[in-house]
A and B are shown apart, each in its own frame.
Chain A
Amino acid sequence: MKHRSSLRFLGVVVLLGTLLVAGLAGCGGAPKVDWDLTVSGAVDNPLTLAYGDLAKMDQMDLSDILMEKSLGEDEVGSWSGVAVDQVLEQAGASSGYVSVTALAADGYAIEVSRDELQGAIVALKKGDEWITEAEPDKGPIRMVCPQTPANRWVFQLQEIQVNE
């Protein structure tokens, strides 16, 4: 009888522990998302970075950035993610690259010049929320190019092609 009570107590402790770990992970860790970002074109090491890889890289914050929309009201917001420069460096982008073409999962693509990429990030978070949770149709990752119009802020970002 005593043995059975101990087992029951142990079960409750294990269950509570599991819930606590899951809760903590949900509060602070990146969500599990099946998404890859490919870096190709004029690079030495073509890359495929999973969402989890991006979440583990150094994160950079962009605060109070103006999003200049072609439709609707402009927005000011804060974003955080991985610096595009860091991604390009990891892929060994050509030192003389002039632009990148950012491609989205729905087929949208845009060429963004090197100048326009200054300070750009591959954003995982908008404000304090993961984009994949805050704006599922705009995620899970989005290129954010400060001080360029929002048509360069490619959502559902899937590939970055480096152009020489």
Chain B
Amino acid sequence: MNTQHATRKPHLDDTVSKCHFALLAAALLFALFGCRPAWQVTLAGPDGQPFVVDRGVLEGWGDFVEEVDGRQLVPLERALVAGGHLVIDQLVTVGPDETHREFEWTTASGDAWWLDDGRLEIGGEVFPVSHLEVRPPALLGQAQASITDVAPTAARALGLPAPARATGRTLEVPPARHVLLLFLDGFGYVRYTEAVQEGLIPHLAALGEPLVGLTTYPPVTSASTASLLTGAPPDVHGADRRGIRKTEVETLFDVAAAAGLRVVAVEGEALAFNLRSAEAQLSGDRDGDGGTDDNVLANALAVLEAGMPDLFYVHFHGIDDAGHTYGPGAPEERKKIREVDAEVGQLIEALPPDTLVFIFADHGMHHVDELGRLGNHGHLVARDMFVPIWVVSR
């Protein structure tokens, strides 16, 4: 009997322990999930395949949160990019009750957030969603190139291997003794088409039609420069948001310098991105005329006078500066586009033969009305994302 009693008591204790354990587990689960109900939203990808966003996916974008009225929020665009979208014209949201909303992305993109309870906040309105669809601009169907194509293509022209992590395509180009990378900051493809119609850019227009190119997201100078030089997208080179000024990934400049080629970069007053492996020359506004493009041109012409480098990089900033301050299409911005066009003409005129020239922008510019600026960029909109890319043999 004693033995039997002795064997039953542990069973009772076990049962009690199991109950305690189950209660504890339930309490733990409730604490973890009870106040934060699960949610799931489906985003239709460009190929029609669904991309699912849930709390775990959203938390994975923690590096991209921005402070909005004291709250830490994830920009909605991070989800749209993760879902495979390159550029957006309209966003359609479908709620659990089948309510449809349509947003013009040019106006909505600057104030569109994904809240951690699964709802969206766009333009101050908060609402639940179950499904998202994207309508791209028609111009996407004409896209021919990416800014990531420049590095592998330039490398091929110089007889070099592409940078190690490059994913861009290698375009068909002839071999060349020299390569010039001519960087027109902020001169997006949409603005280019307008400038042609306005007769602002005779020198660029004389080069023929550029390729319709796409930059990478976010369309800001540091990230785009990294994409340009590595031939890879931001999730590879790591400059995936504003403020990151260098990459550890191999660049075109690294490849060229390692092969013994001379690489020279003429910049404006500042190095927007780490241009290691290049002899970098800054061009401050030493004449005090309020811009640096004339200084950039003078320094670039001086470099050519001394002998064209194997790989030459020249960065004009004026169109971007004028676009931010006055807005795209403003008289001051139009004047700057004319000036830069003339400077491009002068530079191309001074190039030696057997030079392959890439002329491109890092991003475009769209209208805003913010404190202190009338133009900005950084969103998945046509004006920001499409860039012209000329590839011209001299």
Contact = CB atoms under 8 A, between A and B. Distances in A.
A109 B270 CA distance: 5
B273 A109 contact: no
Contacts of B270: 108-111, 151
Contact of A107 (B246, B282, B284): B246
A71 interface: yes
Given A107-B274, A107-B275, A108-B270, A113 B286 contact: yes
Interface residues of B, number: 18
A71 B271 CA distance: 17
A158 B273 CA distance: 16
Contacts of A34: none
A99 B274 contact: no
Contacts of B243: 71
Interface in B252-310: 269-271, 273-276, 280, 282-286, 288
Contact of B286 (A99, A107, A110): A99
Contacts of B274: 106-108
A112 interface: yes
Interface residues of A, number: 15
Nearest to B222: A108
Nearest to A156: B245
Interface string A90-122: 000000001101001011111111000000000
A145 to B, nearest CB: 13
B227 to A, nearest CB: 17
Nearest to B284: A111
Contacts of A110: 269-271, 282
B284 A108 contact: no
B344 to A, nearest CB: 23
Contact of A111 (B246, B275, B276, B283): B283
A71 B270 CA distance: 16
B242 interface: yes
Contacts of A163: 284
Given A71-B242, A71-B243, A151-B270, A109 B283 contact: no
Contacts of B246: 106-107
Nearest to A98: B286
A107 B269 contact: no
B376 to A, nearest CB: 10
Contacts of B273: 107
Contacts of A104: 245
Most buried by B among A108, A111, A151, A163: A111
A98 B269 CA distance: 13
A143 to B, nearest CB: 13
A162 B305 CA distance: 24
Given A71-B243, A106-B245, A106-B246, A113 B271 contact: no
A54 B269 CA distance: 27
B269 A111 contact: yes
Contacts of A98: 286
Contacts of B282: 101, 109-111
B288 to A, nearest CB: 8
Interface string B345-356: 000000000000
Contacts of B276: 107
A107 B277 CA distance: 11
A163 B284 CA distance: 11
Contact of B284 (A71, A106, A113, A151): A113
Given A108-B245, A108-B270, A113 B285 contact: yes
B284 A99 contact: yes
Interface in A124-152: 151
A113 B288 CA distance: 9
B245 A107 contact: yes
A96 to B, nearest CB: 13
Nearest to A108: B245
B257 to A, nearest CB: 15
B44 to A, nearest CB: 32
Most buried by A among B243, B245, B269: B269
Contacts of B284: 99, 111-113, 163
A99 B269 CA distance: 11
A48 B304 CA distance: 34
Q: Which 8 A-B pairs have the closest CB atoms?
A: A107-B274, A111-B284, A110-B270, A109-B271, A111-B282, A111-B269, A107-B246, A108-B245
11 contacts: A71-B243, A101-B282, A106-B245, A107-B246, A108-B274, A110-B271, A110-B282, A111-B270, A111-B282, A113-B284, A113-B285
Interface of B: 242-243, 245-246, 269-271, 273-276, 280, 282-286, 288
Interface of A: 71, 98-99, 101, 104, 106-113, 151, 163
Given A98-B286, A113-B285, 6 more contacts: A99-B284, A101-B282, A108-B270, A110-B270, A110-B282, A111-B284
